[in-house]
A and B are shown apart, each in its own frame.
Chain A
Amino acid sequence: MNFVKLIFMILIIGGWTSGLHADELAIRNCAWCHGTSAQGYMTAPRLAGQRYEYLEKQLLNFKNHTRDNPFSMQYMWDAVAYLDPQTARDLALYFSTLPPKPANDGDWNLVPVGKAIYDGGIPQENVVACTACHGPAAEGVREIPRLGGLSYAYLKRRLDQWGEGFHAAAQLPMPFIAGKLSPADIEALASYLSFVR
């Protein structure tokens, strides 16, 4: 943590935002799918403003193939096949510093239901309150991702696929948590979160 802060300080004092610049080849490769300002495009999720530690961890998960979601296998395994650890850190740092914009593409009518589940869970159905880990503004912390403003389709797909058994290799809390959500819970949560800024 402190080391990361130190790097930030040095970069800020040095007048850069990261060790990498938007026009560098590595970034352009990512932007091809994730959009020029990394706000997400089609099936590729937004990376802008995502937590540094989370981004770095996912890149390693793609590389060692523990993140085995269908689109991860199809797109990301190849995209990071030759990524060295230092470049992975540089990319994570670069994307984490870009300002995120909310997708706003869920069903607005489901926002109150989704917010209630996010804030308090559904204890009698053994569904946890997401806010305990992801934070009151869905901003994430360390290796726990920001959820606010990700696209509806991506959020829904991610939660559906944990319930189906993808990306279960590691002892993460999410496969267990998502497995207890009903399809209606997932619709409501994905809708609500897509509007959170």
Chain B
Amino acid sequence: MQRISLRFLLRVTVLGAAGVAAGGSDGASRPAGSGGDVRAKIEYCMDCHGRQGQGYHGFLTMPRLAGQTSTYLENQLRAFMEGRRDRNLFINMSRVHGLNPAMRAAVAAQFQQLNPPAFGSAPSNLAAAGAKIYEEGVPEANIPACSACHGPDGTGQGEIPRLAGQVFSYTVRTLSTWNRDRGAASGEQTSAAVMAPIARNLTPNQIAAIAAYVSNLR
């Protein structure tokens, strides 16, 4: 299947966001980027996201950042700072992820280069069902093939994230709570919008199957 280019859908958003990149609430009053060099900042991220950026199971699940596309990483950091993502979580994600634009770009570029093994811990018996949905979608439920955008190996591209090797419980949570945690305020057109109907149409069983499948891709 052909890869769908999202450039058309996203152009407006990405250009719009670049102008207000420095505008996070807590992020602006406590500029996290000023306190240290890039190496020290990456250490800070790894304290939560795992010593190699492969993800970590705490009280919350920290997602894998290693090998993620830098464009997507920067987009999400901006979404946290602008309060577009996870505003209902018990932890202030905008404060935790507050970085100035230069530091954001530097840190994202570094994480994209990393390639540790997957975190593991997914139930392996679900992967086959997940592979089918990933490659073919579920036409009768209006669910497109994930591979069309996320790529046949799940490695993503540009603003479309890598799913390969992502921590199982993180992918499950993300797809189950998309509307609440990553849904746009009314009228907002963001890169998260294309996933909203897809996530809504997936059943819990389908979500678990896909999350198990992609967690083992490398």
Contact = CB atoms under 8 A, between A and B. Distances in A.
Interface of A: 119-121, 123-129, 131-136, 140-142, 144, 171, 173, 176-177, 180
Given A132-B58, A176-B47, A177-B47, A126 B91 contact: no
Nearest to A126: B44
Nearest to B32: A123
Nearest to A139: B59
A154 B46 CA distance: 26
B32 to A, nearest CB: 4
Contacts of B98: 123
A171 B62 CA distance: 17
A36 to B, nearest CB: 31
Contacts of A128: 44, 47-48, 96
A3 to B, nearest CB: 15
A142 B92 contact: no
Top 4 A-B pairs, shortest CB-CB distance? A133-B58, A124-B35, A126-B44, A123-B32
A71 to B, nearest CB: 26
Contacts of B96: 120-121, 123, 128-129, 132
Interface string B50-65: 0100001111101000
Interface residues of B, number: 26
Contact of B91 (A127, A129, A144, A176): A129
Contacts of A133: 48, 56, 58-60
B189 interface: no
Contact of A126 (B35, B58, B62, B92): B35
Contacts of A141: 58-59
B125 to A, nearest CB: 15
Nearest to B92: A120
A125 B41 CA distance: 9
B120 to A, nearest CB: 15
B31 interface: yes
A120 B43 CA distance: 17
Contacts of A124: 30-32, 34-35
Given A125-B35, A180-B47, 8 more contacts: A123-B35, A127-B44, A133-B59, A134-B58, A135-B59, A140-B59, A142-B57, A176-B47
23 contacts: A123-B32, A123-B44, A126-B36, A128-B44, A128-B47, A128-B48, A128-B96, A129-B92, A129-B95, A129-B96, A132-B59, A132-B60, A132-B91, A132-B96, A134-B58, A136-B90, A140-B59, A141-B58, A144-B58, A173-B47, A173-B51, A176-B43, A176-B51
A134 B35 CA distance: 25
A171 B41 CA distance: 19
A50 to B, nearest CB: 15
A123 B34 CA distance: 10
B90 A131 contact: yes
Contacts of A177: 47
Contacts of B34: 124
Interface string B27-42: 0001110111000110
Contacts of B30: 123-124
Contacts of B32: 123-124
Contacts of A135: 59
Contacts of A127: 44
